[in-house]
Structure 1
Amino acid sequence: MSPDYLVSILKPMLEGARATILLFVIAIVASIPLGFLLTLAVNSKFKPLSWLANTYIYLMRGTPLLLQLLFFVFGLPLIPVIGEYLVMDRFAAAALAFVLNYAAYFAEIFRGGLLSIDKGQYEAAQVLGLNKWQTTTRIVIPQMIRIALPALANESVTLVKDTALLYAVAVPELLHFAQTAVNRDFTIVPFVMAGIIYLLITAVLTLVFKWLERRFHYV
């Protein structure tokens, strides 16, 4: 395989990788805070709010992400009366589906982190005279993050790979350009290059999370 051919297919594939990375960044930046808010809602003493949050998490985790993508991209405009107001760019609709889906998974990860914190931590905070806000921000959240980081890292790597589902809703991304090159040139080289690009992205992500784990190790 000539270097010229590799360069010729690398350019569009890098364009696709940009869409992949952009979707990942949007999903992470939006779904992690939303997931934390969902965790707070689940643990709320206000039962209707807790029930709604639990129901939402159950629905998003209990149905396939691909189905949710199809619903947000193609289904929303078909809703009677309000459908015409819900039409949006396919990438935006897909990003919304990813954010709402992964927020449910991150909520469960955060909930597990909260449950792992010893009750004595709260009692010690009271003895030290810390109020509820100080206890949450200075003691609970840092420890919760430290406990949840390995699971967050694993879910984030899964998110990178799940971005390939954009292919199913005709949003040009890395896999789309790889498949186009394979169909055109009858060679598996584009698939191999796509795999390498995915591995590079996940390698960088893994290094970032390992750095974060070291940072929170002594919290």
Structure 2
Amino acid sequence: MFIQVTLSLLEGFSMTLKIFLLTLALALPLGLIISFGSMTRLTPVRWLVRTFIWIIRGTPLMLQLIVIYYGPGLVAAWAATKGGNPIFNMIASWTVPERFAAVIIAFVINYACYFSEIYRGGIEAIPRGQYEAGQVLGMTRIQIFFRVVLLQVVKHIVPPMSNEIITLVKDTSLARIIMVYEIIWNAQKFIKSDGLLWPLFYTGVYYLLFCGILTLLFRYIEKRLDYFR
């Protein structure tokens, strides 16, 4: 039974890992783009982006998962009752997204907003003199950002970013809300079928090992960036 449980949890953990890696790969660059929007000099754009960040950070990820998965279908059903209007007909043709796609969309949007605030804090922490020195050397704003500012920003954001990324590992368990079969879902099967509770606690070993590896990785990255002191 132990081997059977272990194999089942490994299968669920592969889904957990897939959600984690895809979210990270998409949310990190998207968060940087959003941070630029929250710092832009265009007031309407800045306030629109900041309002969006406020909504996403102020509502539970579980609620966002439910809205993204069930929302299009509910809106399409409502539009189908209207009929006769091309716009309503187009909305009525919407289909419910794939469960896994809904999970990735929700996670990416949520974590991109959190990452954007970390990016913004890191960028604004760089002294203004760094930008002025780059301008004196004849560098463009893009060159200043990528050659002077970005590496210093990375130094500032590694600790808070590591916290968010480790939180992401544990948040992947929310995918079971819309029946995406991650590791905890697989553990719960044994409660229903065999009355076994220990597989649920066994999942903690997987999370602890994975978070431990990430912790060591981020410590290594911080040490590598010590030359910015």
TM-score range, shorter chain: over 0.9
- What's 1:170 paired with? 179
Q: CA deviation at 1:181?
A: 1.2
- What's 1:130 paired with? 139
For 1:58-207, list aligned pairs within 5 A: 58-79=54-75, 80=79, 81=88, 82=91, 84-207=93-216
Are 1:34 and 2:30 counterparts? yes
Letter in structure 2 aligned against 1:178: A
What SS does the aligned partner of 1:85 have?
Answer: coil
Could you list the per-position Cα deviations for residues 126-170 of structure 1 after superposition, in whole angstroms to 9, with x for gaps in the alignment?
Answer: 233322111100111111111001111000000010000011111
Q: CA deviation at 1:50?
A: 1.0
Taking the aligned partners of 1:63 and 1:91, their CA distance within structure 2 comes to 21
Please list every run of at least 4 consecutive aligned residues from structure 1 whose deviation after the TM superposition is greater than 6 angstroms.
none
> TM-score, structure 2 length as denominator?
0.89
Taking the aligned partners of 1:61 and 1:7, their CA distance within structure 2 comes to 40
Letter in structure 1 aligned against 2:46: S
- What's 2:223 paired with? 214
For 1:15-54, list aligned pairs within 5 A: 15-54=11-50
What SS does the aligned partner of 1:218 have?
Answer: helix
Q: Are the structure 2 counterparts of residues 125 and 63 from structure 1 closer, same or farther at C-alpha, using a change threshold of 3 Å?
A: same
Taking the aligned partners of 1:146 and 1:188, their CA distance within structure 2 comes to 43
Q: CA deviation at 1:86?
A: 4.5
Taking the aligned partners of 1:192 and 1:65, their CA distance within structure 2 comes to 23
Taking the aligned partners of 2:95 and 2:19, their CA distance within structure 1 comes to 20
Taking the aligned partners of 2:2 and 2:92, their CA distance within structure 1 comes to 44
**Contact 2:72/2:94 (8 A) holds in 1:** no
Q: Count matched residues.
A: 215
**Contact 1:32/1:106 (8 A) holds in 2:** yes
Letter in structure 2 aligned against 1:146: K
> TM-score, structure 1 length as denominator?
0.93
The answer for unaligned runs of 5 or more in structure 2 is 80-87
Aligned partner (choices 6, 12, 18) of residue 10 of structure 1: 6
Q: Give the percent of matched residue pairs that are identical in Structure 1 and Structure 2.
A: 39
Q: Are the structure 2 counterparts of residues 31 and 77 from structure 1 closer, same or farther at C-alpha, using a change threshold of 3 Å?
A: same
Structure of larger gyration radius: 2
Taking the aligned partners of 1:114 and 1:124, their CA distance within structure 2 comes to 16
